[in-house]
Amino acid sequence: MQGLTTSIRAAAIAVTMGAVTVPATAASAPPPGATACSGCHGLRDNASSVLPGIYGRDPQEIVTAMAAFHDGTRPATVMNRIAKGFSEDEIRAIAAWLATQK
User: Where along the sequence are the contacts to ligand HEC (CB under 6 A)?
Assistant: 33, 36-37, 39-41, 51-52, 54, 62, 65-66, 76-79, 82, 94
Residue whose CB is less far from ligand HEC, 1 or 46: 46
Residue whose CB is less far from ligand HEC, 1 or 18: 18
- Integer Cα distance of 71 and 20 in angstroms: 25
- Integer Cα distance of 97 and 89 in angstroms: 12
Going 70 to 96 to 94 to 21, the CA torsion angle's sign is negative
Residue whose CB is less far from ligand HEC, 1 or 31: 31
